[in-house]
Amino acid sequence: MEYRRINASDPLYPQACALRESVLLRPLGKDFAWFMEHYAETERRAEHFVAVVHHPAGKRVVGVVLLIPDFPEAGVGKLMQMAVDLQRQGEGIGKRLVIEVETRAFGELGLREVFCHAQNSAMGFYERLGWAADPAEFMEAGTAHHRMWLGQPSEEPG
Ligand SMILES: CC(C)(COP(=O)(O)OP(=O)(O)OC[C@H]1O[C@@H](n2cnc3c(N)ncnc32)[C@H](O)[C@@H]1OP(=O)(O)O)[C@@H](O)C(=O)NCCC(=O)NCCS
Supply the CATH number for residue 18's domain: 3.40.630.30
Q: Measure Cα distances from 129 to 88, 111, 114, 122, 149 in Å.
A: 19, 18, 13, 12, 10
Domains: count for the chain: 1
The answer to whether residue 140 sits within a structural domain is no
**Residues near ligand 1 (Cβ within 6 A):** 23-24, 82-84, 89-95, 118-119, 121-122, 124-125, 128
Query: Could you tell me whether strands 132-140 and 2-6 are parallel, antiparallel, or unpaired per DSSP bridges?
Result: unpaired
Tens of pLDDT, residues 38-57: 999 999 999 999 999 999 99
User: Tell me, what's the pLDDT at 156?
Assistant: 55
25 in a domain, yes or no? yes
Whole-angstrom distance, CA of residue 48 vs CA of residue 46? 6
Asked whether residue 33 is assigned to any structural domain, the reply reads yes
Nearby residues of 41 by Cβ (< 8 Å), 6 or more positions away = none
Closest CA relative to residue 52, chosen from 13, 104, 4: 4
Which residue lies with its CA nearest to atom 34 of ligand 1?
A: 128
Distance from CA of residue 102 to its chain's centroid?
11
Backbone dihedral angles phi then psi of residue 92, each to the nearest 5 degrees? 90, 5
Query: How many residues can be counted in the chain?
Result: 158
* 3-state DSSP of 59-114: EEEEEEEEEECCCCCCCEEEEEEEEECHHHCCCCHHHHHHHHHHHHHHHHCCCCEE
Establish if 72 belongs to a structural domain.
yes
Q: Per the domain annotation, does 89 fall within a domain?
A: yes
Residue 103 within a domain: yes
Residue 85 domain-assigned? yes
How far does the centroid of ligand 1 lie from the alpha carbon of residue 93, in Å? Answer: 9
For the stretch 111-157, pLDDT in tens is 999 999 999 999 999 999 999 999 999 999 999 999 999 998 756 55
Residue at 133 is within a domain: no
Best residue for ligand 1 mutational test, from 125, 126, 131, 146 (most atoms within 8 Å of Cβ) = 125
Per-residue pLDDT, 157 = 52
Instruction: Give the domain extent around 79.
Output: 2-117
pLDDT of residue 36: 97
